[in-house]
Each structure stands twice: as structure tokens, then as C-alpha cells.
């Protein structure tokens, strides 16, 4: 809206809210509308639901006009129903990538747009399906938003809401109050929450905390959200039974590797039992001995430290038993209730989808029986017709919880199962390759250990990763003796992790002139 001199008038105030499903975007918009109308404004809101890239991104659009500027004849303004690039005053993004998408859509304009964004991430399907780290560069998104926005307010507003017992819509509303981008004081915002009458006190706590954050105008979040540092080795084990393992770790292994070894030991013990933890340390002792003989002390034992991570992941492989165990843990239900903001008396129910294949059934059988079943086409076909179908279970019901508990309880027999035997054989062959190469090429041995990153998940995901891993092990054998062996294998690993299609790996393979069946 322009005046007679062509200058933009301050009305209407335009606001674009970009939120994912379940994040309370509609509640936030309702609050803004109520706030405006209670303070002498006309407010209009619209919404357009997007395709569910994660949980369904929705664009809400609001226009606010004070009644005091309306013509005396009582005519009402005609307000737009969608944001127009270059014509948005405030962008509110419930997640960092939504702020980036607002920039892509042209909603963020230098000299005009205030951007309020939560810095946390909800990863899209495209980010999750990549074999390696497919996470978008948060720093690059922040840089782009900062370059376009008149003002950027960015902090982890989701975590702030949780700390205050509320949900992100309340902290976004508080950040809007603290930004002073609207002509209403914080008291008016608080009165809006009180009028809504739902979760008032937690919402007010989150609102006030976020308003204070907005006034400080925080900079970029610290650290990389994808990098988790291994915790320092504790002085005492969690139980008296586990203390001998911790004492052995300190006694036999170099201090630079303690944090990663401690994390790996905790993982395998929690996955299976204390005896499994002892097996983990036995394997790591063999790796350490090879590295010591190759002069690893002068380099800070990089092979032992990296193997501590990868061996733990390999030993704590994902299987149906593990999935069932995680589904029924009390802390999982507590986390879900917290994410939903459920009150003490609220009933929260989850539904889990399982699609067991014949391979999963065979993997949980004793080794000989599983091998016999796999080798019997008629029996396999008969059984596959009965088990290879989707099932939905509700862990919150007696029957659903009992079914998952029975599967999780099979952990005590895991060592005798077909899948476990194969995983252990695969693990030993991989470690033996690394130990053998370490004697004459420690750098290549380190890259062999790092190649284990390709294997993750279970079912089809595990099969695809294992196939690429086996191919890289063949490449490692073909590269032995070359001066560039370590860097060449690292390049192949990077290419294999780059995309799910495998085209990058094929291109790198041809460039290195490796044999097709290496």
C-alpha cells in the first residue's frame, strides 16, 4: 500500500508463518489474530498445507490493519490471501530449513523483513536416505538468511519450550513479542495466552524466556548438531559388576582413546551383556597391539580410536530384537509425551508399523535351522506368504506391549542366532584386513576401518550398505602397495556415502581404473 508520494505506508503488516505438522502453527496464528483484534486491528489469516516432506509443512499468512486508519465511510480493506515475494514484514519459521525456504520463495527482503527462526532441525526424507551424512549445511542456511533479512532472531526455540514445559508455538510467540516487530507490548501477548486458557502457565514461561532471548538477538548456534563428542571416561562404572571392565580399559589402553572406548563399551554392554563388553575389549586389544607395532603411539593412536567407534557399532548391529526393545522403553514414552506436551492425565497412544520379511524370521532362528529354511524353496515360500506382510502394533496396549516384549526378550539367545553368526564373521574378516594392512600401511588400515560407516540399519538398508562395503574391501585389496592407496580408498568411501544411487561411486571407481570385480 503506497501513499500519494509513492512511499510505502506501514499497513497492512504482513506475516508469513512456516511450520511443520504437529508444531502448533495453527495455535500460533490464532494467538496472533486474537492479539491483533483485541488491540484494535483487523486481522485475516489463511493457510496452505504443503506436501509432507517431513511431517507436512504449512504456510500461514496474516495481514493486520489498524481500524484507526480505515476510511470514515466504514469500508473494509481487501486483504491478500497469500504472501507475495518482497512484501512480507515478518517471517516466523518453526525450524531452520523453513527459514531457508522462506528466502528461496522471496519472502525475506533486505531492509524490510524480520525473521524469527528456531535453529533446531527436523530432518527431511531426502536428508535421511543418503548412505552418509546427508544433512543440509545449517551454517550456510543461516548465512543466507542473515544476508537477506533486515533482522534475524535465531535460537533453539524448541529446546527452550521443552525446558519450560511447553511447546514451540509458545516460544515463537514470545520471540515475536521480544522482537517488537508488532506494535503491541509483551503484556498484550501474555493476555492473549491467558484468554486462550490452555496450558497457560507453561506457555507464559516459554513466552517470557523466548522474549528475553529475542531482545538479546543471539547469533548463530554454537557447534555442529551432527557432531557428538564422546563423553569423558567416568570414574566409576554404573554398576559394581561393570567396574572390572572399566578398570581393564584404563589399565590396558592409551588415554587418548579412553573417551571413545568408554562410549563403545557402554554401547555393547547395554546392547547385550557384560560378557559382550569383554569381547569388545578383546577385539580392541588386538587392534591396539597392531597399531603399537606400527608406531601408532607417535600419531596418537588414530586407528584404535576410530576402531573403538566402528567396532562398537558393528557389534551393536540393528536387528528386530533391538528395534522391539527400543519401542517399549519407558524413556521413549516419556520423550513422546514431552514432545506432545501431554499433561499427566492425558492418554497418549502410539502405533508402530512392522513389515517382517522371511530374512528377518530366518535371522532370529538357530543357525542350522535358519540355514536349512533359507535353502528350502518350498518351505520358504509357504512361510513367506504368512509372515511377509505389514503389521501395526500399539505398544500402549497389553497385547501390543506383550508381543514386542517377547521379541525383545529373545536377546538372551541372540548369540546362537543365524544373523549373529554372520555379523560376527563379517566383523572378524573386516578387522583382520585392517590388522594385516596396518603392519605396512597404517593410513590404509585406518581407511579400511572407516569404511564400516557404510553399514547401518537393518533389512534392505543394511543389505545395500553391506554390498557397498564389500565392494570397497575388494578395492582395498586391489589398492594395496600403491602410494595413494589410503587417499584413493577414502575417495571411494566418500563417493559411496554421497548418494543412494551409487553413481558417484561408479564414477570414482572408473577414474581409479580399478577392476570391475575387485
Report the C-alpha gap between 434 and 447 in whole angstroms: 9
What is the per-residue pLDDT for 74? 80
For the segment 168-226, what is each residue's pLDDT rounded down to a tens digit? 999 999 999 999 999 999 999 999 999 999 889 999 999 999 999 999 865 555 444 44
Return the domain boundaries, the chain: 13-216, 418-518
Confidence of residue 228 (pLDDT cuts 50, 70, 90): low
% of the chain with per-residue pLDDT over 90: 60
Q: Which residues pair with 57 in a beta bridge?
A: 20
% of the chain with per-residue pLDDT over 70: 91
Q: For strand 90-93 and strand 13-20, is the pairing parallel, antiparallel, or unpaired?
A: parallel
pLDDT of 140 over the 60 cut: yes
- Taking CA atoms, 321 is separated from 268, 317, 368, 398, 420, in Å, by 14, 10, 19, 19, 11
Q: For strand 90-93 and strand 114-118, is the pairing parallel, antiparallel, or unpaired?
A: parallel
Q: Which residues pair with 91 in a beta bridge?
A: 16, 115
pLDDT of 132 over the 70 cut: no
Minimum mean pLDDT range among 128-142, 263-277, 318-332, 371-385: 128-142
Question: Which residues neighbour 476 within 8 Å (Cβ) at sequence distance 6 or greater?
Answer: 433, 437, 444, 447, 448, 451, 485, 489
CATH annotation of 13-216 = 3.40.920.10
Closest CA to 320 of 240, 391, 224, 219: 391
Minimum mean pLDDT range among 37-41, 340-344, 403-407, 421-425: 340-344
Q: What are phi and psi of 107, to 5 degrees?
A: -80, -15
The mean pLDDT value for 256-271 works out to: 95
For the segment 471-487, what is each residue's pLDDT rounded down to a tens digit? 999 999 999 999 999 99
- Taking CA atoms, 62 is separated from 28, 45, 145, in Å, by 11, 4, 21
CA 314 to chain centre: 20
Q: Which residues pair with 118 in a beta bridge?
A: 155
Q: For strand 114-118 and strand 151-155, is the pairing parallel, antiparallel, or unpaired?
A: parallel
pLDDT of 54 over the 50 cut: no
pLDDT of 55 over the 80 cut: no
For the segment 346-362, what is each residue's pLDDT rounded down to a tens digit? 888 888 888 878 888 89
Closest CA to 424 of 323, 314, 307, 321: 314
pLDDT of 389 over the 90 cut: no
- The chain-wide mean pLDDT, for the chain, equals 88
Q: What is the DSSP string of 414-436?
A: GGGBHHHHHHHHHHHHHHHHHHH
What is the per-residue pLDDT for 112? 95
What is the per-residue pLDDT for 341? 67
Amino acid at each position: 500500500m503506497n501513499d500519494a508520494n509513492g512511499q510505502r505506508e506501514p499497513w497492512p503488516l504482513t506475516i508469513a508463518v512456516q511450520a511443520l505438522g504437529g508444531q502448533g502453527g495453527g495455535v500460533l496464528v490464532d494467538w496472533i489474530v486474537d492479539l491483533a483484534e483485541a488491540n484494535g486491528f483487523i486481522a485475516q489469516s489463511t493457510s496452505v498445507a504443503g506436501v509432507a516432506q517431513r511431517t507436512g509443512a504449512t504456510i500461514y499468512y496474516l495481514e493486520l490493519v489498524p481500524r484507526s486508519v480505515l476510511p470514515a465511510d466504514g469500508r473494509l480493506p481487501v486483504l491478500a490471501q497469500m504472501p507475495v515475494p518482497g512484501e512480507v514484514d515478518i517471517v516466523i519459521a518453526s525450524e531452520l530449513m523453513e527459514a531457508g525456504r522462506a528466502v528461496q520463495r522471496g519472502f525475506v527482503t533486505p531492509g524490510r523483513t524480520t525473521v524469527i527462526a528456531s535453529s533446531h532441525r527436523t530432518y527431511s526424507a531426502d536428508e535421511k536416505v543418503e548412505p552418509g551424512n546427508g544433512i543440509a549445511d545449517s551454517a550456510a542456511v543461516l548465512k543466507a538468511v542473515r544476508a537477506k533479512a533486515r533482522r534475524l532472531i535465531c535460537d533453539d526455540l524448541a529446546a527452550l519450550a521443552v525446558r519450560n514445559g511447553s511447546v514451540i508455538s509458545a516460544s515463537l510467540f514470545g520471540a515475536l513479542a521480544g522482537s517488537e516487530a508488532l506494535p503491541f507490548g509483551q503484556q498484550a501477548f501474555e493476555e492473549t495466552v491467558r484468554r486462550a486458557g490452555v496450558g497457560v502457565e507453561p506457555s507464559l514461561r516459554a513466552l517470557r524466556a523466548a522474549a528475553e532471548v529475542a531482545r538479546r538477538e543471539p547469533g548463530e548456534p554454537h557447534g555442529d548438531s551432527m557432531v557428538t563428542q564422546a563423553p569423558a571416561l567416568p570414574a566409576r562404572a554404573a554398576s559394581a559388576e561393570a567396574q572390572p571392565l572399566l578398570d581393564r580399559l584404563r589399565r590396558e589402553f592409551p588415554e587418548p582413546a579412553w573417551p571413545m572406548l568408554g562410549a563403545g563399551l557402554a554401547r555393547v554392554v547395554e546392547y547385550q551383556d557384560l560378557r559382550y563388553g569383554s569381547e569388545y575389549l578383546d577385539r580392541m586389544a588386538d587392534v591396539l597391539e597392531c597399531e603399537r607395532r606400527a608406531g601408532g603411539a607417535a600419531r596418537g593412536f588414530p586407528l584404535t580410536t576410530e576402531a573403538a567407534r566402528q567396532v562398537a557399532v558393528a557389534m551393536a548391529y540393528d536387528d528386530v530384537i533391538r528395534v522391539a526393545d527400543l519401542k517399549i522403553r519407558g524413556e521413549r514414552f516419556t520423550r513422546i509425551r514431552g514432545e506432545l506436551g501431554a499433561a499427566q492425565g492425558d492418554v497418549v497412544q502410539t502405533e508402530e508399523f512392522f513389515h517382517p520379511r522371511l530374512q528377518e524370521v530366518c535371522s532370529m532362528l538357530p543357525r542350522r535351522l535358519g540355514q536349512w529354511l533359507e535353502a528350502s524353496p518350498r518351505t520358504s515360500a509357504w512361510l513367506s506368504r504368512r509372515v511377509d506382510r505389514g503389521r501395526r502394533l500399539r505398544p500402549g496396549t497389553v497385547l501390543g506391549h506383550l508381543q514386542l516384549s517377547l521379541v525383545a526378550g529373545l536377546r538372551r539367545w541372540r548369540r546362537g542366532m543365524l544373523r549373529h553368526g554372520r555379523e560376527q564373521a563379517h566383523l572378524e574378516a573386516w578387522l583382520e584386513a585392517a590388522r594385516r594392512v596396518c603392519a605396512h600401511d597404517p593410513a590404509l588400515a585406518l581407511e579400511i576401518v572407516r569404511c564400516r560407516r557404510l553399514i547401518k540399519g537393518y533389512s534392505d538398508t543394511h543389505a545395500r550398505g553391506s554390498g557397498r562395503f564389500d565392494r570397497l574391501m575388494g578395492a582395498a585389496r586391489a589398492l594395496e602397495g600403491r602410494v595413494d592407496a589410503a587417499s584413493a580408498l577414502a575417495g571411494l568411501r566418500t563417493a559411496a556415502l554421497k548418494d543412494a544411487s551409487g553413481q558417484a561411486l561408479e564414477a570414482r571407481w572408473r577414474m581409479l581404473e580399478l577392476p570391475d570385480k575387485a
